[in-house]
Amino acid sequence: MRPRSLLSAASALRRPQLSPSSSAPWICSACRARRSGERQFAIQQPQQAALEKPYYVTTPIFYVNAAPHIGHLYSMVIADVLKRWQQVKGRTAILCTGTDEHGMKVQKASEKAGIDPKLFCDKGAAIFKELAQKADIANDHFVRTTDRDHKDAVEYAWYLLQEKGLIYTSKHEGWYAVSDETFYPESAVQLYLDPRTGRKLMTSTETGSEVEWSSETNYHFRLSTFRDRLLEFYAANPEWIAPASRMKEVVREVEAGLEDLSVSRPAERLTWGIRVPQDETQTIYVWLDALLNYATKAGYPWAPGSETAKGWPADCQVIGKDIVRFHCIYWPAFLMALNLPLPKKILTHAHWTLGGSKMSKSTGRVVDPFHALDRFGPDTMRFFLAYSGGIQDDADYDNVRIILLYTKFLNGALGNLASRVMRGRKWSVRGAIERVGGNPAEYWTEEGPGSRYFTNTLCTVPVQVAEELDSCDPRAALRHIHRLVNGSNAFFQMSKPWDKCITFGEREPGEEVDRTIFLASEALRMTGILLQPYMPNKAKMLLDQLGVDESKRTYEYCKPLSDLTYGIPKVDLGRQFEGVLFPPLSSDE
């Protein structure tokens, strides 16, 4: 059934009261605030034509109760790479990130800081916005769960769930973790002895967070009724969660049975959040509130005919492995309950460790992403995180590894190849293109200098990179680019064009040298195109140095012989280290 606009739903539905305290049909808070009662997004005109749905990718929204860490930056980078890749392919793409600002953790953090919760959240949101900007994250939306449009969308979704009979009141008892904002069953907690204090406490076996026994009456969502539908969906979409090991974990958990989910907290205990419509004594559960952000920024609730105009359903949602249950069980169940399409893919990544141990704010074992970006620059950090970050297994953060990757690959391989090819005094990139670039494919595949390199590397690696990025695996794709650069360096070194230049004809070194220079230039050109999602600034610099036209930097041109118009630099190459793509690191790095 196509979702109705909020205005039509609110006016058309006249059903039993939503809660013991309600006496009238629900009206959103924004509507109550306006005398006209009009809903801004409810009166949008339907789209006339079914345009192509934009590619829509999201990061998790990040809690503002603590400063950003390297894991937050990693999620942002992965999502940004996927968005930029779609743009390289010529598709409109949208990236959404933001902050989760409600819940007990934020309430307690603001109390500890001694400031108003909203002011606390404003400060926290500004820091995450700054991080995204500093890392060159090209997000189109920055959602905050304190935004008015988000609050209205959550109230609307609650209303629909309650109208469907999927929300009811009941007494709830269980072990509650404030830091995880969730209840755990008896089977998911354990007694733990804190070695530092000798204190005995109950903790979650999954996250290690402290839990406390809680007994209260609140609203529940009939999650248990979605067990079979979820299992059917998983079976029909076996690659919905990546990597496959986490899909198996989710399936096992759902097969074991689902309990109904507590979706509100007493307002006397949790004041900071969205109140249950027409029941001010209850606050909506932070995860039900937070998960809807992805649809909020895609325009939910949609006017008829515009459901996909802003990208929904999401093509890929990037999350950390610690929030898999919420995004892979609760979230699809909520969407099914609301008759909304599910995301096409959930990409879960592992965590970063430091010195082989889990990062912890309490012990000071954390990596400040701002400091790392200042030290190494956004492009180098983006490259390192995408190259070394773990999808299946945790990855260890180490400055030495960043320096080695920069020195051996960025400076020593890619930067060195660019300098040798473009700054050679005995040959000309443009000249090589003009003299041999126009030869047909048969010229390059027949036996001769670089024929196997042309066929086995230049013609295959871009396709492999595209396959990996299309399947939402930026790390695997970057490994292919790494192989392309190293293979090109090896080809150039073995070809030794500097020893084969003929002595007559200024900058006309002969066909064999021209052939080598052209193939190496093609490798650099395609590398620049493929690196745009990872290193937007350095990729642009490389393509500018090669003289590649801005209109020919898409994947369409990422194959040999597809662009023969480049070769005249758009920027001054400079001398010595001036204008060098990846200059040597300074001694204080």
Strand order in the sheet with 279-284: 264-266, 279-284, 275-276
Q: Is 166 helix (H, G, I), strand (E, B) or coil?
A: coil
Kindly report the CATH class assigned to 400-557: mainly alpha
Which range (82-91, 146-155, 214-223, 569-578) has the least confidence?
A: 569-578
All structural domains of the chain with their residue ranges: 165-262, 400-557
**pLDDT value of residue 5:** 39
Reported as a single tens digit per residue, the pLDDT across 437-476 is 999 999 999 877 899 999 999 999 999 999 999 999 999 9
Query: 576 vs 51, which has greater pLDDT?
Result: 51
Reported as a single tens digit per residue, the pLDDT across 540-577 is 999 999 999 999 999 999 999 999 999 999 998 876 55
Res 185 pLDDT > 90? no
Give rounded-to-5 percent helix, strand, coil for the chain. 45, 15, 40
Amino acid found at 443: Y
| 109 band by pLDDT with thresholds 50, 70 and 90 | very high
| 588 band by pLDDT with thresholds 50, 70 and 90 | low
**pLDDT value of residue 157:** 97
Q: Which two tokens stand for residue 499?
A: 């020893």
Q: CA-based angle 298:300:305, to the nearest 5? A: 90
The DSSP code for 365 is: B
Query: 353 vs 6, which has greater pLDDT?
Result: 353
| 107 band by pLDDT with thresholds 50, 70 and 90 | very high
Contact status, residue 282 vs residue 264, Cβ threshold 8 Å: yes
- Which ranges of 98-147 would DSSP assign to H, the alpha helix? 104-113, 117-134
| 10 band by pLDDT with thresholds 50, 70 and 90 | very low
Residue where the block lists tokens 């590397």: 457
Three-state secondary structure of 383-431 = HHHHHHCCCCCCEEECHHHHHHHHHHHHHHHHHHHHHHHHCCCCCCHHH
Residues with Cβ < 8 Å from 108, sequence gap 6 or more? 65, 178
Region 519-538: mean pLDDT is 98
Query: 275 vs 355, which has greater pLDDT?
Result: 275
Which range (144-148, 346-350, 503-507) has the least confidence?
A: 503-507
Pick from 417, 240, 391, 410: which is nearest to 329 by CA? 240
Peptide bond into 313 cis (omega under 30): yes
- Helix (H) or strand (E) segment spanning residue 476: helix 474-495
Query: 2 vs 429, which has greater pLDDT?
Result: 429
The interaxial angle of helices 378-388 and 536-546, nearest 10 deg, is 110
The DSSP code for 557 is: G
Pick from 560, 558, 575, 543: which is nearest to 418 by CA? 543
CATH of 165-262, one of 2.60.40.1730, 3.50.50.60, 2.170.220.10, 3.30.160.110: 2.170.220.10
Which range (2-11, 276-285, 291-300, 495-504) has the least confidence?
A: 2-11
Cα distances (angstroms) measured from residue 502 to each of 486, 498, 505, 508:
27, 10, 8, 8
**pLDDT value of residue 209:** 75
Res 167 pLDDT > 60? yes
Res 170 pLDDT > 70? yes
Q: Which two tokens stand for residue 86?
A: 């779609």
Give the whole-angstrom CA distance, residue 425 versus residue 204. Answer: 66
Residues with Cβ < 8 Å from 477, sequence gap 6 or more? 464, 465, 466, 468, 469, 530
The DSSP code for 322 is: G
**pLDDT value of residue 355:** 85
Residues with Cβ < 8 Å from 280, sequence gap 6 or more? 21, 267
Contact status, residue 520 vs residue 488, Cβ threshold 8 Å: yes
Res 68 pLDDT > 80? yes
Strand order in the sheet with 357-358: 357-358, 352-354, 395-397
- Helix (H) or strand (E) segment spanning residue 470: helix 461-470
**pLDDT value of residue 508:** 81
Pick from 128, 183, 84, 149: which is nearest to 293 by CA? 149
Query: What are the phi and psi torsion angles at 60 (to 5°)?
Result: -65, 160
